[in-house]
């Protein structure tokens, strides 16, 4: 199984049976390593954490071009439907969507907000627990640190945890390192949601230093980098 970082909070997950794009914000992101057309090659599903435009990104174009379903919170899925996405899979907290071949997506809470650029409410923001090839990945979405991360670790035992570190709109680098140490000590931790906008952390140096100090196994990826998981 391969995990590829697409910049910001975007990832491509590929296991030979399915290829998922998570939060495919490529057009307009200077951290994107490629255009959406290349990132979307052979993609079978798009999965979204919430409705902010820097996470929905190119979803509508990708779903239409590939004729593929989008997994998202109920309100966000219906909003996408009104924009021409004909195949959506509605989900909510705690529910697991089985895609087949041992691939599943479970929505879990995230402390954030979710709305369109016009201010339309798009449901609650979520984190994603994705299982592929017997590997479990927790994409925390845009979030602050919160105590129920302990339950997410206990319930799903993620092998890889993707944590936002940019600050301003999410927890910052030091807080993310604390979350990694306190709740996900056994997982490989990948930083995300930084360097995209001036108000975010410009790099992951502080996060890496804090993780080293705390004994956390951190794996920074440059946009375009691939991590082999299984």
pLDDT of amino acid 230: 76
CA distance 109 to 152: 9
pLDDT of amino acid 188: 97
Please state the length of the chain: 230
Helices and strands (DSSP H and E) totals, the chain: 7, 13
Q: Which two tokens stand for residue 208?
A: 């890496």
User: Residue 189: enclosing H or E segment and its boundaries?
Assistant: strand 188-192
CATH number of 2-220: 3.60.15.10
pLDDT of amino acid 155: 98
* Straight-line distance from the first to the last Cα atom of the chain, in angstroms, rounded to the nearest whole number: 5
For 53-67, the pLDDT digits (tens) are: 999 999 999 999 999
Q: Where are the domains of the chain?
A: 2-220
Q: How high is the mean pLDDT of the chain?
A: 97
Quick one: three-class SS letters along 125-170?
Answer: CEEEEEEECCEEEEECCCCCCCCCHHHHHHHHCCCEEEEECECCCC
CB atoms within 10 A of CB 5: 24
For 123-172, the pLDDT digits (tens) are: 999 999 999 999 999 999 999 999 999 999 999 999 999 999 999 999 99
pLDDT of amino acid 144: 98
pLDDT of amino acid 98: 98
For 20-37, the pLDDT digits (tens) are: 999 999 999 999 999 999
Contact 180, 202 (CB under 8 A): no
CA distances from 173 to 32, 110, 155, 160, 196 (A): 21, 17, 25, 17, 15
The residue assigned the tokens 């140096």 is: 205
pTM of the model: 0.98
pLDDT average, residue stretch 199-218: 97
- What 8-state DSSP symbol labels residue 99? E
CB atoms within 10 A of CB 93: 13
pLDDT average, residue stretch 180-193: 97
CA distance 140 to 110: 7
pLDDT average, residue stretch 107-116: 98
The residue assigned the tokens 């997410």 is: 152
Q: Can you say whether the dihedral through the CA atoms of 188, 59, 54, 119 is positive or negative?
A: negative
pLDDT of amino acid 90: 98
Q: Which two tokens stand for residue 104?
A: 């599943």
- What 8-state DSSP symbol labels residue 210? H
């Amino acid at each position: 199984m391969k995990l590829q970082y697409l910049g910001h909070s975007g990832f491509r997950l590929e296991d030979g049976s399915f290829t998922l794009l998570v939060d495919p914000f490529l057009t307009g992101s200077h951290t994107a390593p490629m255009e959406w057309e290349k990132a979307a090659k052979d993609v079978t599903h798009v999965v979204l954490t919430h409705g902010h435009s820097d996470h929905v990104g190119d979803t509508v174009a990708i779903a239409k071009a590939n004729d593929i379903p989008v997994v998202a919170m109920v309100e966000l899925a219906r909003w996408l439907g009104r924009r021409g996405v004909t195949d959506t899979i509605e989900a909510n907290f705690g529910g697991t969507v089985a895609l087949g071949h041992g691939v599943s997506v479970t929505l879990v809470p995230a402390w954030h907000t979710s709305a369109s650029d016009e201010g339309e409410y798009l449901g609650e923001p979520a984190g994603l627990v994705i299982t592929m090839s017997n590997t479990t990945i927790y994409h925390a979405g845009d979030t602050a640190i919160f105590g129920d991360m302990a339950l997410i670790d206990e319930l799903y035992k993620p092998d890889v945890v993707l944590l936002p570190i940019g600050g301003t709109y999410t927890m910052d680098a030091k807080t993310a390192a604390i979350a990694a140490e306190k709740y996900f000590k056994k997982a490989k931790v990948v930083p995300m949601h930084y360097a995209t906008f001036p108000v975010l952390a410009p790099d992951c140096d502080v996060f890496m230093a804090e993780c080293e100090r705390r004994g956390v196994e951190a794996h920074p990826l440059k946009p375009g980098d691939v991590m082999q998981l299984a």
